[in-house]
Amino acid sequence: MRRISVFGATGSIGESTFDLMMRAGGPEAFHTVALTGGRNVTRLAEMARALRAGVAVTAHDDCLPALRDALEGSGIAAAAGSEALLEAADRPADWVMSAIVGAAGLAPGFRALRHGTTLALANKESLVTAGPLLMAEAARHGARILPVDSEHSAIFQALVGEDLAAVERIVLTASGGALRDWPLDKLAKATVAEALAHPNWSMGPRITIDSASMFNKALEVIETREYFGVAPEQIEVIIHPESIIHSMVGYRDGAIMAHLGAADMRHAIGYALNWPERGELPVARLDFAALGRLSFRAPDEARYPALRLAREVMAVRGQAGAAFNAAKEIALDHFIGGGVGFADMAGIVEDTLAALSRETGLGNAPMSLQEVLAADLRARALATGIASDLA
Ligand code: NDP
Ligand code: MG
């Protein structure tokens, strides 16, 4: 039986992963090594019982008593804290889902690679903050990283049997998020609830707001560059409101391979779970006659400064990805907390990058995970100061 661990099991990606595992037979089909979550320990314990996991880990020490209570009599071990997350990653597993949200997902996934595992990577922040380190670590240990972000899974699938050298362009599709049709002057005053109303995808709250600001797409452009190793100029972004085409690869003969499907993350999660085969998946089938048409438009950089910032980050590389992501996380915290406006987030990130660049120069490539985390911490401190001044 395949040994599986799921990091971030209680989140949106975690729930979809759990759903696919249960449909495939749950504990009869998989040996679940570890499940991790954050504050939702009731759900974590339910999942651990259903899959008969070896250990359930909450990221937060103060949640441990509640997790222990919820697991009482199950024989499942309970643990808490960041060290426990790393210990869970050290437990041998054949397939590990990395679906913690934010930079907090980097260290556990990185650790799992050491054991030569197949890492199903939803946590795009890992590649944005530490792409070169992560890819080198996987190569060093004969581990494999399978992309779970829908765009990157689409690209990965469009590349099967093809030569990367024949790739001319990669076209990332973007829904445009909840506010895509809002006039620019109204956009600045968007509330959290408005940014959370995603038209197509059902996702965790942070990535949903990042979709509306296009910070999500900005992270994905960098993720594409780091995972597939293509040049930044080869990566395009196109707004595709229907979210039917999940992304495309253009080859030097002008042919374009696209991945189409319903906007359901179980496409990408299931592909990674069944890889290198294809399994039956419980996703809706497309009815083209009912769809009628697919539409596209170019993203407006005045609306979406995040896309321009992603280009700047790719030009610098080094610590810029870690700083960009950390500043974005802080800006998002302040937007959610009500301290700054929707349109202020990009300014906070831009000012943080500029300040850090003056301080240390962003181009120094981190040689270790510790250096990535140090750049992340410094950017968080700077971004917090900038956001507090604004509020
Ligand atoms: P959610 O917010 O729904 O879930 C996040 C998970 O991480 C939960 O299990 C949560 O626990 C846990 N968690 C939160 N904070 C911490 C922390 N500090 N340390 C450890 N664990 C923590 O996120 P999503 O599922 O939407 O996203 C997960 C990742 O996948 C992100 O990197 C996102 O960008 C990426 N992704 C998501 C997509 C989607 O459709 N949702 C699509 C493509 C990529 P709890 O809830 O118990 O507190
Ligand atoms: Mg995506």
Cα 350-356-359 angle, rounded to 5 deg: 145
User: What is the secondary structure of 283-313 as a DSSP string?
Assistant: PPPP-HHHH-----BPPPTTT-HHHHHHHHH
Q: What is the DSSP letter of 151?
A: H
pLDDT band with cut points at 50, 70 and 90 for residue 269: very high
Residue located via tokens 């039956």: 280
Higher-confidence residue of 253 and 198: namely 253
| Radius of gyration over every alpha carbon of the chain, rounded to an integer in angstroms | 20
Residue located via tokens 């690209």: 155
CA of 125, closest atom in ligand 1: 32
Q: Mean pLDDT throughout 195-207? A: 93
Pairing of strands 55-58, 77-80: parallel
Give the Å distance between the CA of 24 and the centre of ligand 2.
Answer: 25
Tokens encoding 258: 């696209």
- Pick from 65-69, 146-150, 357-361: least confident: 357-361
Distance CA 103, CA 154 (A): 23
pLDDT in tens, 315-338: 999 999 999 999 999 999 999 999
ipTM of predicted complex:
0.99
Judged by phi (left if over 0) then psi (alpha if -120 to 50, else beta), residue 226 lies in: alpha
Give me the pLDDT at residue 364, please: 86
Pairing of strands 144-147, 235-239: unpaired
Distance CA 42, CA 63 (A): 10
pLDDT band with cut points at 50, 70 and 90 for residue 240: very high
Q: Mean pLDDT throughout 165-171? A: 98
Pairing of strands 245-251, 144-147: unpaired
Tokens encoding 298: 């170019």
Q: Mean pLDDT throughout 279-292? A: 97
Q: Mean pLDDT throughout 338-357? A: 97
Using a pLDDT cut of 90, give the percent of the chain over it. Answer: 95
Give me the pLDDT at residue 345, please: 98
Q: What is the mean pLDDT of the chain?
A: 97
Q: Is the confidence at residue 199, as pLDDT, over 90?
A: no
pLDDT band with cut points at 50, 70 and 90 for residue 365: confident
Q: Is the confidence at residue 301, as pLDDT, over 90?
A: no
3-state SS, residue 136: helix
Q: Is the confidence at residue 226, as pLDDT, over 90?
A: yes
Q: Is the confidence at residue 156, as pLDDT, over 90?
A: yes
Give the Å distance between the CA of 259 and the centre of ligand 1.
Answer: 24
Q: Is the confidence at residue 204, as pLDDT, over 90?
A: yes
3-state SS, residue 166: helix
Count of positions (residues) in the chain: 391
Q: Mean pLDDT throughout 76-85? A: 98
Q: Mean pLDDT throughout 284-305? A: 95
User: What is the secondary structure of 266-290 as a DSSP string?
Assistant: HHHHHHHHHTTS-----PPPP-HHH
Give me the pLDDT at residue 367, please: 86
Q: Which residues line ligand 1 (CB under 6 A)?
A: 8-14, 37-40, 59, 99-101, 104-105, 122-125, 149, 201, 203-204, 206-207, 265
362 CB-side CA count, 13 A: 24
Tell me which of 12, 336, 373 to substitute to probe ligand 1's pocket, judged by most ligand atoms within 8 Å of the beta carbon.
Answer: 12
Give me the pLDDT at residue 100, please: 98
pLDDT in tens, 16-55: 999 999 999 999 999 999 999 999 999 999 999 999 999 9
Q: Is the confidence at residue 360, as pLDDT, over 90?
A: no
Q: Is the confidence at residue 363, as pLDDT, over 90?
A: no
Q: Mean pLDDT throughout 228-239? A: 98
Cis-peptide into 276, omega within 30 deg? yes
Nearest to 367 by CA among 129, 133, 110, 112: 133
Question: Residues 147, 149, 154, 155: is their CA dihedral positive or negative?
Answer: negative
Using a pLDDT cut of 70, give the percent of the chain over it. Answer: 100
Distance CA 120, CA 98 (A): 6
CA of 124, closest atom in ligand 1: 32
Pairing of strands 77-80, 245-251: unpaired
